Amino acid sequence: MFSDLPREIEEEILSRVPIKSLRQLRATGKRWYHHPLFKDPKFIKRYFDTTPRKYHKAIVLNEFRIQSMSSYVDERRISPSRFLLVDPLDNQKVDIAHAFH
């Protein structure tokens, strides 16, 4: 049974599970919803350090504004390197609607 596993093995298994599945796992009951591993900063850091990055952040420039965007890129279908990065400081037609820091 999973509850009989040592914490290190449990961490190793859960660190390989996609984030979407971890959310679904937490919804299955109190044992998983209140599991101390999900609140452990070391596990969270390890999780994000070991899981492959499939989400890419980008700045999108269209005719009227610059927008930040997170997107899922299926690298088997399109290469992220095919996107063109434009420097907004070189463009006189740029309008920045909101600035965040």
Q: pLDDT of 32-42, one tens digit each?
A: 777 788 778 88
**What percent of the chain has a predicted confidence (pLDDT) above 90?**
0
CA-based torsion, 71, 32, 42, 52: positive or negative? negative
Which strand (E) or helix (H) includes residue 35? none
Q: pLDDT of 57-76, one tens digit each?
A: 555 555 555 556 555 555 55
Record the pTM.
0.42
Q: pLDDT of 8-34, one tens digit each?
A: 888 888 877 877 787 788 778 777 777
Q: Across the chain, what does the average pLDDT equal?
A: 66
Please check whether residue 66 is in contact with residue 88, taking contact to mean a CB–CB distance below 8 angstroms: yes
